[in-house]
Structure 1
Amino acid sequence: MNRRGVLSLGKSFLSCMALVLALSLPALAEEKTTDVVISTDLGDINLRLYPERAPLTVANFLNNIDAGLYNGGQFYRAVRMDNQRPAKTTITLIQGGRNQAMTPLPPIAHETTEMTGISHQNGVISMARLEPGTANTEFFICIGDNSALDYGSDRNPDRQGYATFGVVTQGMEVVMNIQNQPTNFPMEDPDSPVHGQIMEQPVKILSVRRK
């Protein structure tokens, strides 16, 4: 099998794993979920959100959608094995956020993975942050096992992890296509933790809407 065939099989496998995770996450048959779709200039990413598991984080994300903050936003960071510095643990994901011309809503309290029960696995969406309690609009989508971003991990000194709140149900091939975009954007600070991970041409977020 040639390289293209191997990559195609790998993408199909990750897409299937994201769907399996989406189907297996609900612990209760009556658990409420909310579906949304992120439309980008590379295709659509369908998400299932879990408001009963992560009420503050889901409400914040939906408020951002309703305010139109993501329309005209972008995916601008792609983390791969080839563009991160040696660390105790590695991560692989894409990160995006609001239209920078829009004023963000206030940040929200931090909901840990210990609270939600949603680990940073393939296809899971989570909020980016600095200190705990500073998340508001920026988010990322995991590719593969990113449990190093869960509560209790020592990847971050505060060991609080990041706030997961949903999972991709369709469109992981779009996520991986975004991850493979060139990331040689020059940065003023070569010691920045995101050095080498900023896309040369960010992928536009055309809209994020409820389904």
Structure 2
Amino acid sequence: MVKRFAPLILFLGFAAPVAAQEAPPAAPAQSAVTPIPKAVTVRVSLETGAGAIVLELEKERAPITTANFLRYVDQKKFDGATFYRAMKAGSAGLIQGGAKNALPPIAHEPTTVTRLQHVEGTISMARYAPGTATGDFFITVGGMPSLDANPAAPGDNQGFAAFGRVVEGMDVVRKILEAPISPTAGEGVMKGQMLADPVKIVAARRVAPK
């Protein structure tokens, strides 16, 4: 939704003339501006067979989910894993990948808590029921608000745990999304979404911010 902001116009009044001997009023003291602290983030580079994808993870806003992802990175469990799924939903979509050797599941951090949303380039955790996420994750192409938590919805309304975004390499994400799909692989809703040739994650490493 495009928000329109009315222009701010300052109207300056004219003060009455003052006698020559009167000193001009002192300018009001300016209050000190408190800088807004920058969110604490961590960057991770995924070197894939299709190119590099650099992620910026929200360590402060989504601490549980970010710490879980970094466990896999630091233990090199994503090395040799693949992006194996590409799901399209109109002009949007997602690619999904993950580690085969899963660590214990983590508590769910809904978007109503983290205040993150599934917009272009969001990285989020795949799951079954809330609290079952392990080492599978996905990256969105385009906005997918249906993946956000929605307390007003019936049933499982907790959404998926977004915890960062792509800062470099969205062209690589789109390339993977457009890769050929297997006509036979996958079961249920995932049939017709499995890549014919999964894209390998060669290495996943922390990188310094630019």
TM-score by length of 2: 0.77
Distance 1:32 1:188, change over 3 A: closer
- Pick from 194, 198, 208: which aligns with 1:198? 194
- Pick from 142, 145, 157: which aligns with 2:143? 145
- Which is richer in helix? 1
Alignment size in residue pairs: 173
Shift of 1:184: 2.1
What residue number does 1:34 align with? 42
What secondary structure is seen at the aligned counterpart in 2 of 1:193? Answer: helix
Shift of 1:195: 1.2
Aligned identity (percent) is: 43
Per-residue deviation, residues 148-178 of structure 1 (Å, max 9, x unmatched): 0000178883010000000000100000000
What residue number does 2:67 align with? 59
8 Å CA contact retained: 1:78, 1:198: yes
Cα RMSD of the aligned pairs, angstroms, is 2.0
What residue number does 2:132 align with? 134
TM-score by length of 1: 0.77
Gaps of 5+ in 2: 1-34
Per-residue deviation, residues 17-42 of structure 1 (Å, max 9, x unmatched): xxxxxxxxxx9433211011011011
What secondary structure is seen at the aligned counterpart in 1 of 2:190? Answer: coil
1:1-211 mapped onto 2 (5 Å cutoff):
28-81=36-89, 92-98=93-99, 100=100, 103-152=101-150, 157-187=155-185, 189=187, 192-211=188-207
Distance 1:110 1:91, change over 3 A: farther
Gaps of 5+ in 1: 1-26, 83-89
Greater RCO structure (CA 8 Å; 6+ sep) = 1
